[in-house]
Chains A and B, each alone.
Chain A
Amino acid sequence: MDFTQVLQYCLAGITVGSVYAIVAIGFNIIYSATGIINFAQGEFLIVGAMTAVSLHHYMPLPMAVLLAVAITAVLGGLVELVFIRRVRDASVLRLIVITIGVSILLREGMLHVWDEQVRGLPYFTGTSLSTIGLMGARISPQVLWVLGVCTVIVTALTLFFKLTLTGRAMRACADDRMAARLCGIKDSRMVTLSFMLSAAIGALAGCVISPLTQTQYDMGAPLAIKGFTVAILGGLGNSMAAVVAGLLLGLLETLAVSQLPVAYKEVVSIVVLLLVLIFRPSGLFARRETSALRA
Chain B
Amino acid sequence: MNTGTPGILRVALAMGLSMGIAHSASAADAPPIRVGAVFSVTGPASFLGAPEAKTAEMFVQKINDAGGINGRKIQLIIKDTGGKPESAISMTKQLIEEEKVLAIIGPSTSGETMAIKNICQEGETILLSCAAAETIVNPVASYVFKTPQKDSDAARWIYKTMKEKGLNKVGVITSNDGFGMAGKAQLEKLAGDFGITVVISEAYDKQETDLTGVLTKLKGRQVQGVINWSIVPAQGLVAKNMKQIGLDVPLFQSHGFGNIKYAQASGEAANGTLFPAGRLLVADTLPDKHPQKKVLMTYKKDYEGKYKEDASTFGGHAYDAMLLLTEAVKKAGSADHKKVRDALETLKDVVGTAGVFKMSAEDHNGLGMDAFELLTIKDGKFATYRK
**Chain A residues with a Cβ under 8 A of chain B:** 1, 5, 8-9, 11-13, 15-16, 19, 111, 115-120, 122-123, 127-129, 131, 133, 137-140, 212-214, 216, 218-219, 222-223, 253-254, 257-258, 261-263, 265-266
Q: Report yes or no: A131 in contact with B214, Cβ–Cβ below 8 A.
A: no
- Contact A111/B214 with A214-B233, A214-B265 known, Cβ cut-off 8 Å: no
Closest to A132 in B: B244
The contact of B214 among A123, A140, A218, A257, by CB within 8 Å, is A257
| Total contacts A-B at CB 8 Å | 127
Assign chain B's interface to a size class: 35 or more
Contact residues of B between 196 and 222, Cβ < 8 Å to A: 202-205, 207, 209-210, 212-217, 219-220
Chain A residues with Cβ below 8 Å from B176 are: 263
Chain A residues with Cβ below 8 Å from B44 are: 218
Instruction: Kindly list 5 other residue pairs between chains A and B, CB separation below 8 angstroms, not including A1-B220, A128-B270, A213-B210.
Output: A8-B245, A15-B212, A120-B236, A128-B268, A222-B209
The contact of B47 among A117, A133, A254, by CB within 8 Å, is A117
The contact of B202 among A127, A138, A261, by CB within 8 Å, is A261
7 A-B residue pairs with CB within 8 Å? A11-B212, A120-B236, A128-B240, A128-B266, A128-B268, A139-B245, A257-B217
Q: Report yes or no: A8 in contact with B262, Cβ–Cβ below 8 A.
A: no
Q: Report yes or no: B244 in contact with A15, Cβ–Cβ below 8 A.
A: yes
A111 to B42, CA, bound (A): 8
The contact of B205 among A1, A8, A265, by CB within 8 Å, is A265
A186 to B173, CA, bound (A): 55
Chain A residues with Cβ below 8 Å from B268 are: 127-129
A265 to B206, CA, bound (A): 13
Q: Report yes or no: A8 in contact with B239, Cβ–Cβ below 8 A.
A: no
A204 to B317, CA, bound (A): 39
A155 to B216, CA, bound (A): 32
Q: Report yes or no: A223 in contact with B209, Cβ–Cβ below 8 A.
A: yes
- The main secondary structure of chain B at its interface with chain A is helix
Q: Report yes or no: A19 in contact with B266, Cβ–Cβ below 8 A.
A: no
Q: Quick check: is B313 within 8 A (CB to CB) of the other chain?
A: no
A254 to B204, CA, bound (A): 13
Q: Report yes or no: A12 in contact with B212, Cβ–Cβ below 8 A.
A: yes
A138 to B215, CA, bound (A): 12
Give A67 Cβ to nearest chain B Cβ, in Å: 22
A137 to B246, CA, bound (A): 8
Give B110 Cβ to nearest chain A Cβ, in Å: 19
Closest to A139 in B: B244
Chain A residues with Cβ below 8 Å from B42 are: 111, 116, 218
Give B49 Cβ to nearest chain A Cβ, in Å: 8
The contact of A262 among B204, B207, B246, B267, by CB within 8 Å, is B204
Q: Quick check: is B339 within 8 A (CB to CB) of the other chain?
A: no
Contact residues of B between 235 and 265, Cβ < 8 Å to A: 236-237, 239-240, 243-246, 261-262, 265
Q: Report yes or no: B220 in contact with A5, Cβ–Cβ below 8 A.
A: yes
Closest to A1 in B: B220
- Contact A222/B207 with A5-B219, A120-B265, A214-B237 known, Cβ cut-off 8 Å: yes
Ranked nearest first, the 3 interchain pairs of A and B with the lowest CB-CB distance are: A116-B46, A213-B209, A12-B212
Q: Which of B204, B236, B246 has the most chain A CB within a 10 Å cutoff?
A: B246
